[in-house]
Amino acid sequence: MKTEIINVGSEILLGDILNTNARYLSSVLNKLGCSIYYHTSVGDNQKRLKKLINLALERSELIVLTGGLGPTLDDITREITSEALEIPLEHNPKIAEEINCYFKERGITMPKNNLRQAKVPRDARILHNSNGTAPGLLIETKNNIIVLLPGPPNELKAVVEESLLPLDLFKPMDSIVSTTIKTYGIGESQLVEKIEDLIQTQSNPTIAPLAKEDGVHIRLTYKGNQQYASHYFSKYKKRIDERLGNYIWGYDNQQLNQLIIDRCAQKKLNLSTVESCTSGAVSSLLTDVSGSSKVFWGGNIVYTDNCKKEFLSLNSDIPNGGVDKDITEQLAGQLYIKSGCDICLAVTGALGPSTPHNNVSVGDVFISTILKGNLKTSKFKFRGSRETIKSRVVYAALFKVLKEINTL
Amino acid sequence: MKTEIINVGSEILLGDILNTNARYLSSVLNKLGCSIYYHTSVGDNQKRLKKLINLALERSELIVLTGGLGPTLDDITREITSEALEIPLEHNPKIAEEINCYFKERGITMPKNNLRQAKVPRDARILHNSNGTAPGLLIETKNNIIVLLPGPPNELKAVVEESLLPLDLFKPMDSIVSTTIKTYGIGESQLVEKIEDLIQTQSNPTIAPLAKEDGVHIRLTYKGNQQYASHYFSKYKKRIDERLGNYIWGYDNQQLNQLIIDRCAQKKLNLSTVESCTSGAVSSLLTDVSGSSKVFWGGNIVYTDNCKKEFLSLNSDIPNGGVDKDITEQLAGQLYIKSGCDICLAVTGALGPSTPHNNVSVGDVFISTILKGNLKTSKFKFRGSRETIKSRVVYAALFKVLKEINTL
């Protein structure tokens, strides 16, 4: 089904917010076999929105609009959609009652503006919104399906997952299915060289590399009858594994933090961290995994020299501003003594722009792991902005932990 | 100047990546007075890209394309742009040499594919890329300016900041200027009610509320001669302050973490944290601020009961799985003893989906601060997914710290 997504909201065009909705919707709709040809963002402008909707009605079958369903006057999506489709807006008492209840549950009187949200195109199907006051709406015409969804991401997801998907409306002939192979430790250009012949000759599935925070991903995309996809995917995954096997760490939705927590849980290992420059970014990422408290014990943020001295019970000065192999190993060792964990991770480094000592350059990093008493330390050199280096250090640390876990 | 941004790349339409480039470019171009009317994302498809470029050439003056400048066969932007403009592609030896040097500096032989990146529309201006091999390109025709930029965000920013902006090409008659007022502690609907008359009657500047992680922002947008903007902004800021002053914490690019670090530095305060559920998210955010080591001492991640016991030197069980007023206060107190910091922050809570104890509900949170020995504790109740609650807890904690700093 030829599909396009239209995000309504001047805040997108002014660069105030990231368009996460387009990404989420693409992900969901692709799995249903929709072929998404365009994402467009347009402002809260009646004339341009109407022009765009008319263009979409011509070139696409399914049109999904997000945003502009709020209660204020610059929320124009319901109104302009009804104009473009030449369907009148009508007050819907059921929606009005639900909005009233929403405020009641929170102990607030419904602001009068919110009544505008109960004025919807006649005969539109209501898609209940459990996270907000604006219901989604679905309108079917002779040639098109038009879906209106709220802008705030948590509301959009609630409407899509609880009210839209269960309608089971999209019956694809052809699906577009993707699978992803995740690698780490090899740059994009060099990875491409190793599988270049596959990339060039493959038209279905297509093979595309994508550089990410957690390494280089290879996405295989198949368009056709879904039952054949896995056959093709296995074939190419095998070939890619023959060339890049050493670098592959995961597939599809596998996330590095989840993988680490799951493998530790399987092998009955627990884990603690002591971070200097990353200052909690590693521990925070590990505990984004629900249930991580069965694995992750806790840790320390030894951001300054004084804090390192307190942690290590040292009186003497910390050499090299703490970005030091010996200090990093001492931190890991002290963590091991305090926590008794099977895996202890210590991270020090200079994120920039300044460094804590003349001997230290921006991007110098030490990462130590102690696995059941066995200490290993690596030195790294990263380039880029403070933000980029921090991200690279976090992932280097996590991959070092994963590597250790995989030795057991 | 009527402007649109076109992002080329199937990975966007498949929902693989977030379109951060559109946001960044909007932010930059708006300040230069460009009126951005559309963001469109389109796949690596020759026919659809050409159609879109032709539409853009008609409806916009400045067209900025990102992506599709890589070395592989699915990188089609140079080729399709040259077709749409009817300008031939030519091999540019200067670019070829720069690409060769890029690989040489990294000790790698240039993959042959990268030579494709030296084939550019005749007479295109080269915009050097210090972070990658694909130069940006600028083409001026009778009616349009077309800018081609690389897709990877760090390369795009390098080309824009080092090569495009210095050309100083965009001489606006009218500017679009925005200013933002940042509030915390009041919901969006209630905020709108307090300034409803201003929102409804104001057409220039427009006044728009935006719900964010760090509270509700109010964006004022002025279109016209830039020298008058600040006059209007002061006027409306004053009015809004009269109605919402208690909730306003910042303006424009002010970030909460930067504000906290700056104010601590000014008042010569240092700061430490002990986090349970947030597990380093607070300390990581604080230290995203360059120079924060002058203020932030370090801290602890007491994620599990065992870790809390170790930190507090307790033998007895931790009540209520640690989500407990008394325990939170003890954590803050122990941190104060260890760190001696002027401000000590302790955070415990249940992010969900499960809770550590029957007495504890999802979203129950305690936050304690000790300011120069003076202890205060607040209890909170948050709703939403694990991710949403974690974010809300992080900001509630930071705002509590800011509130304490502001008492001095």
Per-residue pLDDT tens over the stretch A275-330: 999 999 999 999 999 999 999 999 999 999 999 999 999 999 999 999 999 999 99
Mark yes or no for CB contact A301/B278 under 8 Å: no
User: How many angstroms away from the CA of A16 is the closest CA of chain B?
Assistant: 7
Mark yes or no for CB contact A15/B23 under 8 Å: yes
pLDDT of residue B259: 97
Chain A nearest-CA residue for B109: A190
Q: Residue A203: which pLDDT band, with cuts at 50, 70 and 90?
A: confident
- CA-wise closest residue to A184 among A343, A366, A400, A406: A400
Give the one of B22, B28, B37 whose C-beta lies nearest to A48's C-beta.
B37
Q: Is CATH 3.90.950.20 correct for B256-405? A: yes
Mutation to test the B interface, candidates A52, A99, A189, most B Cβ within 10 Å: A189
pLDDT of residue A172: 59
Which residues in chain A have their CB less than 8 angstroms from residue B12's CB?
22-23, 26, 39
Mark yes or no for CB contact B339/A310 under 8 Å: yes
Mark yes or no for CB contact B26/A15 under 8 Å: yes
Which residues in chain A have their CB less than 8 angstroms from residue B71's CB?
189, 192
Per-residue pLDDT tens over the stretch B279-327: 999 999 999 999 999 999 999 999 999 999 999 999 999 999 999 999 9
pLDDT of residue A226: 75
Region B175-251: CATH code: 3.30.70.2860
B375 secondary structure, DSSP code: E
Which residues in chain B have their CB less than 8 angstroms from residue A308's CB?
298
Diameter over CA atoms, chain B: 80
Per-residue pLDDT tens over the stretch B193-206: 999 899 888 788 88
CA dihedral B66, B68, B69, B72 (to 10 degrees): 160
Maximum mean pLDDT: which of A8-12, A272-276, B155-159: A272-276
pLDDT at residue A171 above 70? Answer: no
Mutation to test the B interface, candidates A2, A18, A23, most B Cβ within 10 Å: A23
pLDDT at residue A63 above 90? Answer: yes
- CATH number belonging to the domain at B2-164, selected among 3.40.50.1100, 3.90.1150.10, 3.40.50.1820, 3.40.980.10: 3.40.980.10
pLDDT at residue B226 above 80? Answer: no
Mark yes or no for CB contact A304/B288 under 8 Å: no
Mark yes or no for CB contact B298/A301 under 8 Å: yes
User: How many angstroms away from the CA of B115 is the closest CA of chain A?
Assistant: 13
Mark yes or no for CB contact B301/A273 under 8 Å: yes
Which residues in chain B have their CB less than 8 angstroms from residue A199's CB?
72-73
CB pairs under 8 A between A and B: 289
Q: Positive or negative CA dihedral for B312, B316, B322, B326?
A: negative
Per-residue pLDDT tens over the stretch B325-372: 999 999 999 999 999 999 999 999 999 999 999 999 999 999 999 999
User: How many angstroms away from the CA of B250 is the closest CA of chain A?
Assistant: 16
**Residues B207 and B157: beta-carbon distance below 8 Å:** no
Q: Whole-prediction pTM value?
A: 0.76
The rounded mean pLDDT for chain B is 92
Q: Distance between CA B204 and CA B224 in Å, rounded?
A: 9
Which residues in chain A have their CB less than 8 angstroms from residue B301's CB?
273, 280, 283, 298-301
Nearest 5°: the CA angle B279, B282, B288 is 125
ipTM of the complex model: 0.75
Mark yes or no for CB contact A387/B113 under 8 Å: no
At residue B252, the 3 state secondary structure works out as coil
Q: Residue A147: which pLDDT band, with cuts at 50, 70 and 90?
A: very high
Mutation to test the A interface, candidates B189, B194, B277, B351, most A Cβ within 10 Å: B189
Mark yes or no for CB contact A356/B310 under 8 Å: no
pLDDT of residue B268: 97
Q: Distance between CA B238 and CA B219 in Å, rounded?
A: 14
pLDDT at residue A229 above 70? Answer: yes
Top pLDDT among A210 and A107 is at A210
pLDDT at residue B58 above 80? Answer: yes
User: How many angstroms away from the CA of A298 is the closest CA of chain B?
Assistant: 5
pLDDT of residue B43: 92
User: How many angstroms away from the CA of B273 is the closest CA of chain A?
Assistant: 9
Mutation to test the B interface, candidates A6, A37, A41, most B Cβ within 10 Å: A41
pLDDT at residue B2 above 90? Answer: yes
Which residues in chain A have their CB less than 8 angstroms from residue B210's CB?
11, 16-17
Per-residue pLDDT tens over the stretch B149-180: 999 998 999 999 999 998 887 766 567 788 99
* Beta sheet of B343-349, edge-to-edge order: A374-381, A364-371, A343-349, A271-275, A296-301, B296-301, B271-275, B343-349, B364-371, B374-381
Give the one of B41, B291, B302 whose C-beta lies nearest to A39's C-beta.
B41
Which residues in chain B have their CB less than 8 angstroms from residue A17's CB?
23, 210
Mark yes or no for CB contact B23/A27 under 8 Å: no
Chain A nearest-CA residue for B304: A297
The rounded mean pLDDT for chain A is 92
pLDDT at residue B182 above 90? Answer: yes
Give me the residue spans of the domains in chain B: 2-164, 175-251, 256-405
Q: Tell me how far CA of residue A357 lies from CA of A175, A317, A381, B63, B69, in angstroms.
A: 57, 12, 16, 46, 40
SS in 3 state form for chain A?
A: CEEEEEEECHHHHCCCCCCHHHHHHHHHHHHCCCEEEEEEEECCCHHHHHHHHHHHHHHCCEEEEECCCCCCCCCCHHHHHHHHHCCCEEECHHHHHHHHHHHHHCCCCCCHHHHHHHEEECCCEEECCCCCCCCEEEEECCCCEEEEECCCHHHHHHHHHHHHHHHCCCCCCCEEEEEEEEECCCCHHHHHHHCHHHHHHCCCCEEEEEEECCEEEEEEEEEECHHHHHHHHHHHHHHHHHHHHHHEEEECCCCHHHHHHHHHHHCCCCEEEEECCCCCHHHHHHCCCCCHHHCEEEEEECCCHHHHHHHHCCCCCCHHHHCCHHHHHHHHHHHHHHHCCCEEEEEEECCCCCCCCCCCCCCEEEEEEEECCEEEEEEEECCCCHHHHHHHHHHHHHHHHHHHHCCC
Q: Distance between CA B323 and CA B309 in Å, rounded?
A: 14
Mutation to test the B interface, candidates A99, A284, A362, most B Cβ within 10 Å: A284
User: How many angstroms away from the CA of B351 is the closest CA of chain A?
Assistant: 9
**Residues A205 and A222: beta-carbon distance below 8 Å:** yes
B164 secondary structure, DSSP code: I
Mark yes or no for CB contact B387/A339 under 8 Å: no
Mark yes or no for CB contact B43/A25 under 8 Å: no
Rounded mean pLDDT, A212-237: 88
pLDDT of residue B230: 87
Which residues in chain B have their CB less than 8 angstroms from residue A71's CB?
189, 192
Choice among A256-265, B24-33, B135-144, B355-364 with the minimum mean pLDDT: B24-33
Choice among A32-36, A83-87, B43-47 with the minimum mean pLDDT: A32-36
Percent of chain B's residues with pLDDT above 70: 99
